[in-house]
Amino acid sequence: MWKRLSAGSNLNDWMTCWPSGGATAKCSLNEGLAGLPGIGLQRITPNSEPAWRQYCVVVEPETFGCDRNSLAQRLDEKGIATAVHYPRGLHQQPIFEKLYGKSRLPHTEDLARKILALPVHHGLSEEQVKFIIAAVQTSRLG
């Protein structure tokens, strides 16, 4: 049986092992999820090399067939842990509301409702990455 696939990693492991394994898993995830309706992938700025501490996708409910929380639940049922690292915008954090008052940033708030972190770390095998891709693909309704 699959051990639980986590959307986070041990900081010490990340510091010593991250660049090669995380980047490999990220590339496979990008390839496997590319073109899947309703799933927005992270963009990489040209001439840059991201650290890939997280691999987040944007779930468009109207196109994908379910919202971020439903996808997270479906993946959890398959033994894949996900995470919502940023459930609200920075402007919605209590300290900033206290200092500057409440404000609206519609695009930020929309992304905060749709973004979901998938497992991406050095410990993932190619088989596990394929399992994550298949699980996202089969969680789509429609």
CATH code of residue 58: 3.90.1150.10
In a domain, 2, yes or no: no
Phi, psi of 80 (to 5 degrees): -110, 115
- Which residue range(s) make up the domain with 121? 11-44+51-139
Q: Which one, of 18, 60, 67, 23, lies nearest residue 39 by Cα?
A: 60
In a domain, 35, yes or no: yes
pLDDT at 19: 42
Residues ≥6 apart with Cβ < 8 Å to 133:
28, 29, 32, 33
In a domain, 5, yes or no: no
Give per-residue pLDDT as tens, 70-87.
999 999 999 999 999 989
In a domain, 30, yes or no: yes
In a domain, 1, yes or no: no
In a domain, 92, yes or no: yes
pLDDT at 93: 94
What average pLDDT does the chain have? 84
In a domain, 84, yes or no: yes
pLDDT at 124: 86
pTM (2 d.p.): 0.80
In a domain, 6, yes or no: no
Output the DSSP codes for the chain: -PPPBPS---HHHHHHHHHHHHHHHHHHHHHHHTT-TTEEPPP--TT-----S-EEEEE-HHHHSS-HHHHHHHHHHTTB--B-S-SS-GGGSHHHHHHH-----HHHHHHHHHEEEEP-STT--HHHHHHHHHHHHHH---
Domain count of the chain? 1
Residues in the chain: 142
